[in-house]
Chains A and B, each alone.
Chain A
């Protein structure tokens, strides 16, 4: 009896907790207005409209990795790889300039199946991150990278089209659920054609120009990239996002990443501009100023020398250097 009584008290407590949770969720919902649409659209599909964001470290590196002291590091007092120290470009940022560790988002053995020559390029990319990463230049981020950058994006879901607007550099892609002609040329953001498989939105993405990366670790692809993305609701406020990545010019077999995307539930959430073209002018053109802004500072001030090399083969630079 006593046993039973304790059990039932626990059951009641659990039920009460559940009710409280439901109430607090619905309170949030009411306050949230735009952030909490119906679970399904007028045509009965899962409703993905709203503002979303990945909450992980994939933008640093798709693969599992240790935390490290800087986005760019150099040898410290000891010559061990595990004892590196932050290098000049991020030194002044202190603990804000480091890279968080991650369990990675690559499925299976966690390996990316690069062909041997592509693996060498990936390694070089990582070593020349500042010189080569298109994100640093505020170039269009491409897919899938735009989906897990540390910025929110907004889905506007209609019947024949689904628009995804990304805060980063005010770009977007349209997923066509209807019949359209393809783009006349290769693109940064790809050409997205979608269909529903039950409650899963499946998107086929092609027509890339091969100029994008996957992350800040130098993972890259060619213009032969072909993605199959799958968006499946986990709850009304979370989506399982899976991508099968195929690129016979770079990888020996298709491989897959997956992660949840989370709804931004702040009641006043909206997509703000991140118009980084302006932010990178100094980075891109600072060396061509009449009066350079970046100098070797003297005296007690930390002197930060930032090296940004022009990647070999950059046509314009090669030309104007002549």
Chain B
């Protein structure tokens, strides 16, 4: 009972943050045809003669990062497919009565309308943000990265072993088995825990079913989820760009109040010494014609992007195509993680500067009652168990349990048609 209330409070705090974000989001563009963009003026220059990237930017259309298998070898959706995807997504997200069996942890975990956790933007034309490799998919992991991922997955499954997720053979336990609580619950995780990440429910980054301290929880719950590169995820983002000769400043309003400031030096100086590491790496910009090219290195072992940690290397290309559009292209490389480099292209659309629909606060951290509630809840469960008043916490699930995490089910008809 105590825990439900605690979780409710945690969820309520996040919900409030999301509601604030949604209030600020531009009016939905559901009615607007994607190809009917008004003729935009030419790309402007700054008074000092550099390409002008300034203003508030977001993206107006939802495009999956990876191409869903059923559209293999096709770069664009047909008009009919686009309309059908919009219909399906709206249908799933607007449905209010779907739930896991009443009283189950999945039910409690998804007992609020999680549809607000995901953007309701219209489906775009392209079948994937990834333009290279040509199949629109993230390249295969290296054997080393596969080993890393398997190790964290094994640990996750060990911590779910005694729960209903495995007992009822839910998606969260895929590859695992039901049994008595594992002694591995006392172990240090095989690598730094980050985000739920790629690789199916609970895969990749490593969210574990334990709350011994803040480090056991995801970077999102710790208010440190902002990552580079950022393609918007479920909640979308706004960028505010301000330029001067020698610097390009970008504020990323992203991840439910987890925004951050980035200032790209436009300089020929070398990167920071290799032992100086930063969560968002070290950026070096240069102008190549109309394009700002940014080389980013020096990430930390705590940085996580799709399976990559400190060896992540980005080459970003920012090009103002016209008054209303920036093309953002990024080549992602890490020889210890992927068998080849891959490239993503995303189009940013200009938002009204005057409306100033850009919010740097309240930040997640200042109101992180969720973390206090999660940890206090876990301690309360342990006390209750010790006093014979509640179940063994090792048989309960607080992360990786499955559910309608972003408004969609994990698998099947009610999962996200853009990612299934």
Which chain A residues have a beta carbon within 8 Å of chain B's beta carbons?
Answer: 33-34, 37, 41-43, 49, 138-140, 154-163, 165-166, 170-174, 176, 178-185, 187-189, 211, 268, 270-273, 275, 277-278, 281, 284-285, 288-291, 316-317, 319-320
Contacts and interface: CB of A to CB of B under 8 A. Distances in A.
Contacts of A42: 46-48
B244 interface: yes
Contacts of A271: 263
B239 to A, nearest CB: 12
Given A154-B249, A289-B212, 8 more contacts: A156-B242, A156-B243, A161-B242, A181-B356, A271-B263, A281-B222, A316-B369, A319-B9
A62 B375 CA distance: 38
Nearest to A176: B356
A268 B366 contact: no
B47 A43 contact: yes
B373 interface: yes
Given A165-B263, A270-B265, A278-B224, A34 B246 contact: yes
Given A154-B263, A158-B54, A290-B213, A320 B373 contact: yes
B35 interface: no
A62 B213 CA distance: 37
B214 interface: yes
Given A159-B47, A188-B361, A277-B222, A289 B269 contact: no
B115 interface: no
Nearest to B52: A158
Interface residues of B, number: 60
A114 B375 CA distance: 40
Nearest to B54: A158
B396 interface: no
B90 interface: no
B266 to A, nearest CB: 8
A289 B361 contact: no
B100 interface: no
A107 to B, nearest CB: 30
B212 A290 contact: yes
B362 to A, nearest CB: 7
B242 A180 contact: no
Contacts of B224: 275, 277-278
A118 B54 CA distance: 43
Contacts of B261: 165-166, 170-172
18 contacts: A42-B46, A49-B244, A49-B246, A140-B363, A140-B366, A154-B249, A157-B244, A158-B242, A158-B243, A158-B244, A165-B249, A180-B353, A180-B354, A180-B356, A184-B359, A187-B362, A273-B278, A316-B9
B360 A285 contact: no
A285 to B, nearest CB: 5
Interface in B129-164: none
A243 B200 CA distance: 53
A187 B361 contact: yes
Contact of B279 (A41, A187, A211, A275): A275
A188 B379 CA distance: 32
Centre residue among A189, A272, A290 by max chain B CB count within 10 A: A290
B6 interface: yes
B23 A184 contact: yes
Contacts of B267: 33-34
Interface string B205-219: 000000111110000
B223 interface: yes
Centre residue among B23, B247, B379 by max chain A CB count within 10 A: B247
Nearest to A182: B356
Given A34-B246, A42-B48, A171-B360, A139 B366 contact: yes
Nearest to B369: A316
A269 to B, nearest CB: 9
B13 to A, nearest CB: 9
Contacts of A290: 211-213, 378-379, 382
A252 to B, nearest CB: 30
Contacts of B243: 156, 158
B86 to A, nearest CB: 29
A278 B278 CA distance: 13
B157 to A, nearest CB: 21
Contacts of B20: 185
B376 interface: yes
Interface string B51-77: 000100000000000000000000000
A284 B367 CA distance: 12
Centre residue among A37, A156, A268, A291 by max chain B CB count within 10 A: A156
A153 B369 CA distance: 29
A156 B263 contact: yes
Contacts of A138: 365
A156 B213 contact: no
A285 B371 contact: yes
B245 interface: yes
A174 B242 contact: yes
A160 B354 CA distance: 11
Contacts of A272: 272, 276, 278
B22 to A, nearest CB: 12
B90 to A, nearest CB: 26
B245 A37 contact: yes
A42 B47 CA distance: 6
Nearest to A288: B375
Interface in B343-377: 353-356, 359-363, 365-366, 369, 371-373, 375-376
Given A140-B363, A188-B362, A316-B372, A291 B249 contact: no
B249 A156 contact: yes
B240 A174 contact: yes
A139 B214 CA distance: 17
9 residue pairs, one from A and one from B, having the closest CB atoms: A288-B375, A172-B261, A163-B242, A180-B356, A290-B212, A156-B249, A49-B244, A42-B47, A42-B48
B372 A178 contact: no
Contact of A156 (B9, B244, B268, B278): B244
Centre residue among A43, A170, A173, A185 by max chain B CB count within 10 A: A170
